Structure formats: C-alpha cells, structure tokens
Amino acid sequence: MRPSLIPTSVMPVVVAIVMASALSACASRPDCDPLSGFELGRDATPAEPACNSERYAEAWRLGQTLGDLESELRALNDEDAPTPAERQRIRVLQREIPELQTLARLEGWLPAESFSPQEP
C-alpha cells in the first residue's frame, strides 16, 4: 500500500477552501449581461462601473427610463383628485410605458406577454 501525500482527514478541508475561493471570485465579478443592466436601471440602482459595453449601457438606460415612468404613474394614480394636467400626464404615461415595455420585450429584457384572443 502506497502512503498518501495528503492525509485523508485534511482532504475535505482543502476541497472546501478551494471551492470557497472559487465561489468568492465569481461573487465579486459584476454581472455585465444587458438583462442585469436593464433590471438595475429599472430598480433605480446605479449601473455597474465595470460593465462598459454599449448593450449593457443601453439596457440600463431603458430600464431606468421605464422604472422612472412607472414610478411617476404610480404616484399620479395615488392622487385623490388629480388636476387636469395630471390626468393628461397619466394618459401620456399609459401610452408610453407599454411602448417601452414592448421594446424591452423585443430585446429579451422582459418576458413576452401571453396572448389569448378574445372570443367574438
């Protein structure tokens, strides 16, 4: 029988340390996928500085714009008695938000809506 270079009782500890270091390296790297940028922008979270691709920046800007408009619409809808100007802004937002959502769906940054035709 050949003696092992590393005692078997130490092996699980070594494996755990190697796996932990590999996982920490993955966790410290930002997710530069455009979908991640879109979600960060929509949540009003700053873009990852290390992510400098044009697609990521475009996705983040679209997410930020969509998130801002959605927040504005929620705030206006919470008004007890909106002014005529606020009602007009609500109508504009109700038109613009779906257009931006459609663009995000075309890019794959939002899930596709299910379509169910209405019965005549």
Segments forming the whole domain that contains residue 91: 31-107
SS3 helix, strand, coil % of the chain, rounded to 5? 60, 0, 40
Domain presence at residue 4: no
- The mean per-residue pLDDT over the stretch 41-49 comes to 96
Note whether residue 16 is domain-resident: no
Residue 30's pLDDT band, with cuts at 50, 70 and 90, is confident
Please count the CA atoms within 13 angstroms of the CA of 9 that sit on its side-chain side. 0
pLDDT at 113: 76
Q: Look at residue 118 in the predicted model and tell me its pLDDT.
A: 56
Please indicate, yes or no, if residue 70 is contained in any of the structural domains: yes
For the chain, the average pLDDT equals: 84
Tokens of 88: 């007009």
The verdict on residue 57 lying in a domain is yes
Using the predicted structure, report yes or no on whether residue 18 has a pLDDT greater than 70: no
- Domains contained in the chain, number: 1
Report pLDDT digits (tens) over 66-116: 999 999 999 999 999 999 999 999 999 999 999 999 999 999 999 987 555
What pLDDT was estimated at residue 9?
61
Res. 2: pLDDT tops 90: no
In a domain, 15, yes or no: no
Q: Percentage of the chain with pLDDT > 90?
A: 67
